[in-house]
């Protein structure tokens, strides 16, 4: 390599690992200069890390001249985070003691930990502990990101509607890929396609633009409504696009509409208004039609609903983002309890319901339409038992989320002290080494072992109905093929098992520090 020009050496280094580059830089002054090129380390940052915490202002750095950013130092900081997260993760997998605090340390790295967690979550099934490595930490990070956005919204900070609604998706990301920003990117792409398909859209009046957008959404089946599905199906997606339009959701009963307002001093047809003439809004329901809905039709529907405790103006105004989040949460809960085919969805039902419960509790004070007389305390208390049950059963690593975002909501209510005590007990218990439970000779006659999966011998059923019941030994048989196990059930096993062993046809225990004989 000594005979190669510096530029060629840098091109070669672009295909090597950063560790090899650092090692080469220690061999001579010439290679030290070549390997410290800001452009090279900028490339390493782009190639080795996808997700960056806001503290780095990574996108802004990309727009700066390359020499103005310490790219090598930035890569070094991310590399050290990668090492720290991996070390803590290995400790989590090695013992049950202190897992809550260790997971909290990983999650405290924020987005900087996501690349590392994704790498571990996507390892192959030939790895010694692939089930445990894929388990809960990445989900805890995603939920933290979502609840942080909802917390900002609750404090009155400006959170875009697509981010606030997209936070629900963060609870259910299956592979770890995807992020809140992806939603904005997809909307931007749709806007670009609409502009390309209708080159004159910028010349249209606001009313014509709104109709054109609604027509496009319906033609491309982007309205999120499938007439063959239940209205509350959680796989529906709300999509709003603003092409220079002042568009907002409208909290109409049973079905969200869109309200559009013209620029000040103009109407929706771009005609200047006379002094004092009101600016009439435009209402649309792109889910059902690409045409405008008159306010008279909407008022007629409200009258048909009968006596209402709130005035028509309450239902015809622009909805706050917090109200839309609460409404989505309630719709999801309705899906879980009312849709008979909900269990067929590919989504993790526990995660879906958990997201809806969080939204319903955090934004209970936004429920002005549902509870005009009772106040937010009743909403908090109504959803608390279900939320805490999901937390304790399925999401125990969320202790710090409960402590930081849920407990303060009850500071003036009787439940506050009990919640504080419960959090303290969980944290304290997690730090105590597990008591070893041995299998004595009395258990030698038991036919089946921990790690086996059973199904009913005659009915062929393999279910979990959350009930405690006994089945006669002669009525069950062991499942010998992992393909017979549902993916959602398999995903949840990482909390207790490392992997499936095809030789023994059993799952290998991940809690042998407590049960060494299993």
| Contact criterion met (CB below 8 Å) for 512 and 518 | yes
Tell whether 343 is covered by a domain. Answer: yes
Q: What is the average pLDDT across 35-55? A: 93
How far from 41 is each of 48, 80, 115, 272, CA to CA, in Å? 10, 15, 18, 56
| Contact criterion met (CB below 8 Å) for 224 and 240 | no
d(CA 504, CA 402): 40
Whether residue 211 sits in one domain with residue 281: yes
Whether residue 386 sits in one domain with residue 452: no
Q: By 3-state DSSP, what share of the chain in percent is helix, strand and coil, each rounded to 5?
A: 55, 5, 40
Tell whether 365 is covered by a domain. Answer: yes
More confident residue, 168 or 375: 168
More confident residue, 332 or 358: 358
Q: What is the average pLDDT across 104-128? A: 90
The C-alpha torsion from 186 through 189 and 194 to 199, rounded to 10°, is 160
At 145-175, the pLDDT tens digits run 999 999 999 999 999 888 998 899 899 886 5
Whether residue 302 sits in one domain with residue 389: yes
Query: Does pLDDT of 466 surpass 80?
Result: no
Tokens of 366: 């936004």
> Where is the domain boundary, 369, 400, 429?
429
At 212-248, the pLDDT tens digits run 888 888 887 776 655 444 434 333 333 334 456 788 8
Total domains, the chain: 2
At 390-408, the pLDDT tens digits run 999 889 999 999 999 999 9
d(CA 321, CA 150): 10
d(CA 222, CA 287): 9
Whether residue 399 sits in one domain with residue 446: no
- The pLDDT of residue 495 is 83
| Contact criterion met (CB below 8 Å) for 171 and 142 | yes
- The pLDDT of residue 70 is 95
> For all residues of the chain together, what is the average pLDDT?
83
At 279-312, the pLDDT tens digits run 788 998 888 888 888 888 888 888 887 745 567 7
The reported pTM is: 0.86
Whether residue 202 sits in one domain with residue 346: yes
Lowest mean pLDDT among 65-79, 215-229, 412-426: 215-229
More confident residue, 35 or 236: 35
Count of C-beta atoms within a 10 Å radius of residue 276 = 5
- The pLDDT of residue 56 is 93
d(CA 423, CA 403): 7
Nearest CA-CA partner of 10 in 43, 28, 35: 35
Q: Give me the sign of the Cα torsion angle 265, 270, 274, 280.
A: negative
> Where is the domain boundary, 375, 394, 429?
429
Nearest CA-CA partner of 193 in 213, 177, 174: 213
Count of C-beta atoms within a 10 Å radius of residue 359 = 29
Tell whether 490 is covered by a domain. Answer: yes
Whether residue 423 sits in one domain with residue 446: no
| Contact criterion met (CB below 8 Å) for 462 and 454 | yes
Whether residue 446 sits in one domain with residue 424: no
Whether residue 319 sits in one domain with residue 231: yes
More confident residue, 458 or 356: 356
Tell whether 371 is covered by a domain. Answer: yes
Whether residue 243 sits in one domain with residue 324: yes
| Contact criterion met (CB below 8 Å) for 151 and 163 | no
d(CA 94, CA 378): 43
- Note down the domain range covering 360: 180-429
- The pLDDT of residue 310 is 61
Residue 454: pLDDT band (50, 70, 90) is confident
> Where is the domain boundary, 373, 402, 429?
429
Whether residue 373 sits in one domain with residue 231: yes
Count of C-beta atoms within a 10 Å radius of residue 293 = 17
Tell whether 88 is covered by a domain. Answer: no
How many residues in total does the chain contain?
518
Nearest CA-CA partner of 362 in 376, 342, 347: 376
State whether residue 196 is helix, strand or coil.
helix
At 123-139, the pLDDT tens digits run 888 888 888 887 668 89
Whether residue 482 sits in one domain with residue 414: no
H/E element, 184:
helix 180-197
Question: Rg (Cα) of the chain, in Å, rounded?
Answer: 28
Tell whether 5 is covered by a domain. Answer: no
Lowest mean pLDDT among 31-45, 105-119, 240-254: 240-254
d(CA 261, CA 207): 10
d(CA 106, CA 119): 14
Nearest CA-CA partner of 11 in 47, 35, 29: 35
Lowest mean pLDDT among 25-34, 82-91, 185-194: 185-194
Whether residue 412 sits in one domain with residue 454: no
Lowest mean pLDDT among 236-245, 363-372, 409-418: 236-245
The residues, any chain, with a CB within 8 Å of residue 358's CB and separated by 6 or more, are 147, 150, 171, 329, 387
Tell whether 245 is covered by a domain. Answer: yes
Tell whether 105 is covered by a domain. Answer: no
d(CA 128, CA 505): 15
């Amino acid at each position: 390599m000594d005979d190669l020009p510096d530029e060629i050496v840098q091109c070669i280094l672009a295909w090597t690992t950063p560790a090899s580059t650092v090692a080469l830089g220690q061999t001579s002054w010439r290679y030290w200069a070549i390997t410290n090129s800001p452009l090279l380390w900028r490339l390493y940052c782009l190639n080795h890390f996808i997700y960056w915490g806001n503290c780095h202002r990574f996108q802004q750095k990309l727009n700066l001249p390359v020499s103005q950013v310490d790219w090598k130092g930035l890569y070094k900081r991310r590399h050290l985070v990668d090492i720290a997260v991996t070390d803590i993760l290995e400790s989590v997998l090695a013992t049950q003691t202190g897992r809550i605090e260790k997971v909290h340390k990983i999650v405290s790295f924020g987005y900087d930990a996501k690349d590392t967690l994704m790498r571990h979550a996507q390892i192959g099934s030939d790895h010694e502990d692939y089930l445990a490595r894929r388990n809960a930490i990445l989900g805890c990070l995603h939920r933290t990101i979502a609840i942080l956005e909802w917390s900002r919204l609750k404090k009155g900070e400006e959170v875009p509607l697509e981010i606030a609604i997209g936070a629900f998706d963060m609870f259910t990301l299956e592979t770890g890929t995807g992020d809140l920003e992806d939603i904005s990117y997809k909307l931007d792409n749709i806007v670009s396609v609409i502009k390309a398909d209708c080159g004159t859209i910028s010349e249209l009046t606001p009313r014509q633009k709104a109709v054109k957008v609604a027509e496009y959404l319906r033609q491309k089946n982007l309205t999120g409504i499938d007439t063959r599905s239940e209205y509350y199906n959680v796989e529906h997606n709300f999509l709003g696009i603003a092409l220079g339009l002042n568009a907002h959701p409208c909290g109409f009963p049973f079905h969200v509409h869109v309200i559009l307002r013209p620029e000040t001093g103009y109407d929706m047809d771009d005609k200047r208004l006379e002094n004092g003439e009101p600016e009439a809004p435009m209402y649309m329901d792109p889910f059902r039609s690409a045409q405008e809905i008159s306010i008279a039709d909407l008022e007629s529907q409200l009258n048909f609903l009968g006596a209402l405790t709130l005035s028509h103006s309450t239902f015809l105004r622009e909805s706050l983002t917090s109200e839309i989040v609460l409404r989505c949460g309630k719709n999801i809960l309705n899906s879980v309890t009312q849709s008979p085919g909900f269990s067929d969805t590919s989504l993790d039902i526990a995660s879906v319901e958990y997201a809806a419960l969080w939204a319903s509790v955090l934004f209970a004070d936004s429920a002005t339409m549902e509870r005009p007389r009772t106040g937010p305390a009743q909403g908090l208390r109504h959803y608390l038992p279900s939320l805490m049950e999901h937390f304790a059963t399925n999401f125990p690593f969320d202790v710090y989320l409960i402590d930081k975002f849920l407990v303060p909501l009850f500071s003036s209510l009787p439940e506050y002290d009990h919640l504080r005590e419960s959090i303290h007990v969980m944290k304290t218990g997690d730090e105590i080494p597990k008591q070893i439970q041995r299998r004595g000779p009395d258990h030698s006659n038991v036919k089946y072992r921990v790690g086996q999966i059973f199904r009913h011998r005659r009915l062929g059923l393999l279910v979990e109905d959350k009930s405690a019941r006994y089945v006669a030994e002669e009525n069950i048989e062991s499942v010998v093929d992992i393909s017979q196990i549902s993916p959602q059930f398999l995903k949840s096993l990482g909390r207790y098992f490392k992997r499936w062993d095809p030789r023994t046809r059993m799952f290998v225990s991940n809690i042998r520090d407590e049960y060494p004989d299993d």
